[in-house]
Amino acid sequence: MQEDDSERLPPQPTEPDLPKYVLDPLRRSDADRLREISEYALTLAKWKEQRAEIEELQENEVRKRISEYHKQDLREAGKSASPSDYDGVPVDGRAYVVVKTPRDDPYYYWAWRTETGSWSSKLICRVDEIYPNPENRPTPETVRAELAED
């Protein structure tokens, strides 16, 4: 009795959860083409990761500069601009001073990424404690524009 050749063939790999328009051309491709696609996909993934890292570094630099701007405002108003003066705020350089505006009422906050990658924050004070006159308050756009001039 001759053994069935199909029993000796390795099983087809489990297909990833991808759209049909991606899988169909892959199914029709020969091994050489699939290797080319694989190499390109790995190179593309690496490029995208590197680009995301660079963009994150650039955004962190912007956050840092904006944070320094807000810290200066806080210091000039006699408020602490040191994360060590606020319970629970990391002192390892991850925390930035930001302005959040819940319900049209702006506040200074410390903001930082947690170890799990989510954002956390701690209230510092209301912006009107630093800028009682709303017309004198810098907007995010004016802060970024002023920093861009430096």
Q: Is 126 helix (H, G, I), strand (E, B) or coil?
A: strand
Q: What's the CA gap between 68 and 86, in Å, rounded?
A: 17
Q: What is the pTM of this model?
A: 0.64
Q: How far is 55 from 22, CA to CA, in rounded Å?
A: 28
Q: Please tell me the distance from the alpha carbon of residue 35 to that of residue 117, in angstroms, as a whole number.
A: 34
d(CA 145, CA 139): 10
Give per-residue pLDDT as tens, 117-144.
899 999 999 999 888 888 888 887 888 8
Mean pLDDT of all residues in the chain?
90
Checking if the pLDDT of 1 tops 60, the result is no
Token digits of residue 40: 């390109």
Long-range residue pairs from 135-142, CB within 8 A, at least 24 positions apart, any chain: 137/106, 138/69, 140/66, 140/99
Q: Distance from CA of residue 146 to its chain's centroid? A: 23
User: In this predicted structure, which of 64-68, 90-94, 137-141 has the lowest mean pLDDT?
Assistant: 137-141
